[in-house]
Amino acid sequence: MGLAAAHSIRLAGSDLCALAEHLDIAASFCLLPDIQSPAEPDPSPWDLGDPVAFHPLDSVELSLPLTKAVLKNLQVVLSRMGSWMELGGSAFQMLGTVAAAWWLLRVAWWLGHALLVYGLPQVGLGLGISLRKQGAWAVVTGATSGIGRSYAHELARRGLNVVLVSRDLSKLRREAEDIERLHGKETRVIQVDFSGGLEIYETVERGLEGLDIGILVNNVGVAPKIIPQKLMDVKNAGKSFTDMMNCNMLSMVQMTRIILPQMVARGRGVIINISSMAGRQPSPFLALYGATKAFMNSFSRAVALEYRSSGVIIQTLTPLVVSSNMSQMPPTKFLVKSSDDFVREALDTVGVSNFTWGCFLHSVHGLAYQRGGPQFTKVVVRLIQLSLGSPQMLGFSWKCSTHCWKLEGQETEGEAHVSIA
């Protein structure tokens, strides 16, 4: 029995090795642009007339090498398992070996990705792009406080002129003066209330006429004033819902409509959309806010694929808790990132990752929240509550963690979060 099982395992290992070789053949046949099949098929809906335009097989280009490496490693593991079976090894040893190999591969992949995206820039070896080469001007919405203010100052520090867009004219003028004084760059201010409808964007278009815009940061957003709160417990729900959807979703779509065409025409530019971890999973007691962020994630990533051959980068950030007026939390070591520190680290990821947490600390927290389950989340948020003295946040986390696990069939079963961004 044991010898037969060992023989079967070794055959499986050989099959995996053969499959890895077939993946090489598939990669060279399907993905290399200079290799064509003998008979080219008729144009399909995916044929956009551009040899590097989006195609369903493009996502395989990155997954095939990794899949091949995983298969080869598992082939080695299975070969050793066959030897152990011949020597009388137990099924538990085999199971433990497979589990250990699987988790080690996942950890190695995560660490390598974190090093590439977040680690190398900290030692001056980042693979990001030059922001100054994208254009002379940067446009930042919600630029008078929090993450938006930090983006405006950091982009000016890195050599770009800045257009600040927000609703409070006095704050806009103050920040513009600070940027000109501290960084020596030109500024413009545009006063609009993003909770308004389509009519406000005529003012924005007039204010941006004639500018060589290289960077757009869609940062403006609103969150519920009371947390936790059920959807229909919101006061003046009709107006509140419309304002949030206009501010969090319509603003991003319309600002992209206004600025993206000139970026495509020049073949360069960066659009940064500030979303939230709330958009990565169902968010009880933040239902509408989380849904608007999920829309941002989906829209941003889809448009990034549509225009990636044009030279325009569209990045989506999904931070957790950042110290800002929206979160009402002071920066706390290892728990809450200051907006200035977050933005400095996030800008270094432009051109390296188009869908990212924004900083290493948040990538660690995100991994823990996604994999640690509700009990781990409760412990983490208790630490935040103790350090910040926020019983409201503790109650919010408790309700989220006890309700999320009831969402049957969801990949995020058992998760909870405290993300406000």
Secondary structure letter of residue 145 according to DSSP: S
Give the relative orientation of helices 201-208 and 251-266 as an angle to the nearest 10 degrees. 30
Buried residues in 212-247 as b, exposed as e (16+ CB within 10 A): ebbbbbbbbbbbbeebbbeeeebeeeeebeebbbbb
Nearest to 291 by CA among 356, 373, 223: 223
What span, in angstroms and rounded, lies between the C-alpha atoms of 339 and 146?
Answer: 6
CA atoms within 13 Å, Cβ hemisphere of 127: 12
Cα separation values, 275 from 87, 247, 302, Å: 55, 12, 14
What span, in angstroms and rounded, lies between the C-alpha atoms of 117 and 359?
Answer: 9
Give the tokens for residue 396. Answer: 């919010």
Helix (H) or strand (E) holding 200: none
**369 assigned to active site:** no
What span, in angstroms and rounded, lies between the C-alpha atoms of 241 and 72?
Answer: 52
- How far does CA 68 lie from the centroid of its chain? 26
* Contact criterion met (CB below 8 Å) for 221 and 290: no
Among candidate residues 118, 201, 289, 307, the one labeled active-site is: 289
The residues that bridge with 314 in the sheet, in sequence order, are 271
What span, in angstroms and rounded, lies between the C-alpha atoms of 175 and 63?
Answer: 45
Cα separation values, 205 from 199, 324, 328, Å: 11, 28, 32
Catalytic positions are: 289
